[in-house]
Amino acid sequence: MIDQTRLPTADGGPALGKRDAKLETVALIWGGMPAGVAVSREGRIFLSFPKWTPQVQYSLGELTKDRGLVAFPDERSHRRGDADGFDSVQGIFIDDGDRLWLLDAGAGKLSVVDLSTNRVTKTVPVPQNVMKPAAYFNDLRVDPRRGVEGTAYISDSLGGGIIVLDVATGEAWRRLKDHPSARAADDVVAEVEGVKLPTFRGNTDGIALSPDGKTLYYCAFTRRDVYSVPTDALVDRGTSEEQVAAAVKLIATKPSACDGIGCDAQGRVYTTDHEDNAIRRITPTTDGADARVEVIVQDERLLWPDAVWLHGGYVYITTNQLNRLPHLHGGKDLRQPPYALFRYPIDRAK
């Protein structure tokens, strides 16, 4: 079925006509637009569906072998008005303990699910002090080794900056809100499929943790740079904003802006370069030399690659045609379902 389905392709841009035989279609998605992806130790695949459009039936799904994509943990959890349920899940993350962390952008809360029981074991509301005057919680990473119950890092695409949340106490604070690295660049206009999108702008978006948890990598939605900052500087309440800003490093500048990013066990950073319909890999250096930046896959079927997850020698990639939404084209909806989840073998990437 998957192999026989004709997937939509780019109408223009640098990937037009390009196909990579190693890009594998894992799943086709006909309903809501997928954003986040996370894969457990056992290979369970989870996808998030923020409520960007009316087609979203549930905000978090699991891709099962026998039933396909189903609501997770159940349909009841996604009913409107359920105080304990989910509204609009976007960022998702699985830690080394095989716990699934969920960032509910709609309800403004962080939840953790024990995947051995599929039950929510903790819910932490994001405090109002970091939600004002406006916020859109986008991406999520959690370091369970830091703090009593772990420390969460949350990107804010509207307010800008990184929100640090102590899971045990529920306290949260914001870093880098006004730093240029975490905000849209005035001179960048996204061009996707050969079409300029001057109104499609945003601040801090993708974030990723290094394997040792000591470095947070991040990018802004409307910027073609990837930066890093030591997590010690973010977490230490005694560190001033000036000191945090001084610790920021430019890791790489690319030809394309990116949405989600991820980090593999070797510390290499993968970026979803939607302007180029590509996935790039950045290998940071410690000796002051420029990072190595390489395209590992470029394909006309990668229509707005959104999020990545590294598992089992593959990079998993969600695509959702975000650039084709009607409000960007005078009310005309250019999306062509199905959307897709792909994976690509990073160990054999050229």
pLDDT in tens, 183-223: 999 999 999 999 999 999 999 999 999 999 999 999 999 99
Bridge partners (DSSP) listed for residue 140: 154
Domain containing residue 159: 24-32+125-136+145-348
Contact indicator for 217, 263 with CB cutoff of 8 Å: yes
Contact indicator for 200, 231 with CB cutoff of 8 Å: no
Query: Residue 70 falls within a domain, yes or no?
Result: no
pTM of the model: 0.96
pLDDT of the residue at 348: 58
Query: Residue 78 falls within a domain, yes or no?
Result: no
Dist. CA 216–CA 234, nearest whole Å: 9
| Number of alpha carbons in the 13 Å side-chain half-sphere of residue 11 | 10
Query: Residue 97 falls within a domain, yes or no?
Result: no
Query: Residue 107 falls within a domain, yes or no?
Result: no
Query: Residue 244 falls within a domain, yes or no?
Result: yes
Q: In which region does residue 170 sit, left (phi positive, over 0), alpha (psi from -120 to 50) or beta (all else)?
A: left
Tell me the CATH number at 268: 2.120.10.30
How many structural domains is the chain composed of? 1
Residues contacting residue 198 through CB under 8 Å, at least 6 positions apart: 189
Query: Residue 89 falls within a domain, yes or no?
Result: no
Backbone angles phi, psi at 291, to 5 degrees: -65, 150
pLDDT of the residue at 287: 73
Query: Residue 275 falls within a domain, yes or no?
Result: yes
pLDDT at 268 over 70: yes
Query: Residue 94 falls within a domain, yes or no?
Result: no
Dist. CA 29–CA 247, nearest whole Å: 41
pLDDT digits (tens, 9 = 90+) for 33-66: 999 999 999 999 999 999 999 889 999 999 999 9
pLDDT of the residue at 350: 45
